[in-house]
Amino acid sequence: MSTSRGADAELVVDTNAPIFLVKFSTATQRAGCVVDYDKIAFAMLPHCPKCVSALLVAVEGTRSKVGASALKCPSCSGFWVPPEVVALPGIVETLAQQDTRPAHTSSEDKRTGQCPDGHGLLRRARVTWHDPYFLERCARCGGVWFDAGEWSRAAQDDLFSNLSEVWSPAWRKQLSDRESHASLEVDLRAKLGRELFDLLHVVANRLESHEHRGVALAYLVERLKHPDEFGDDDA
């Protein structure tokens, strides 16, 4: 329940009701104020976080037991998905059928927006390092905004078993580690040359799961530190 008071009016909005209830105080009625109910009702409807003026519409077949549904923007094709809807059986396939990845990354993915349920600014989180995309989540209600194509990508990345993890410090560290490894590989490839780097990559991959990889690593270290102590015979 929220209350807004003005010079001659008091507006009471019951946000806990299945449908927002708008009431005006007796003082407002006596003052003879002209109330634009259509404008008030429109402002209370869920709007697209990115298109702002576009109203979101419920996606058929996504209603949860508590009454929440996935919502779609008819303008940009993004989805607003409450946490209880993410947990619905078959929801991944249902929304994936209506989700189309655009040919180019939308400019809308470069910014966040307001929670459609009126809880303030959504928190952005980078999902991947390579070919990056971002998701936005409401810290209060847990709803997540997916730009067009992002629901399908999240499904491919198997994120829905623990979607909230994307906004955790551990996830950010994981992305930072990947960025560091990618930068190291670029640097090594430039310094060693593509042929030698590829050979080193093959050797590392083969040793990675070998039971004696520690011995092999020790040999390589000693060989590179003291090359004169090892023969040049390749046999």
Find the mean pLDDT for residues 70-75: 93
Taking 50 as the threshold, does the pLDDT of residue 42 lie above it? no
Q: Give the tokens for residue 176.
A: 């930072």
pLDDT value of residue 33? 53
pLDDT value of residue 233? 55
**53 alpha carbon, distance to own chain's centre:** 22
Q: How far apart are alpha carbons 218 and 213 in whole angstroms?
A: 9
pLDDT band at 149 (very low <50, low <70, confident <90, very high): very high
138-142, 177-181, 197-201: least confident range: 177-181
pLDDT value of residue 190? 87
Q: CB under 8 Å, gap of 24 or more: what pairs does 193-198 form?
A: none
Query: Tens of pLDDT along 167-180?
Result: 999 988 887 777 77
CA-CA-CA-CA torsion sign (79, 165, 126, 122) = positive
Q: How far apart are alpha carbons 41 and 115 in whole angstroms?
A: 17
Taking 50 as the threshold, does the pLDDT of residue 90 lie above it? yes
The per-residue pLDDT of the chain, averaged, comes to 79
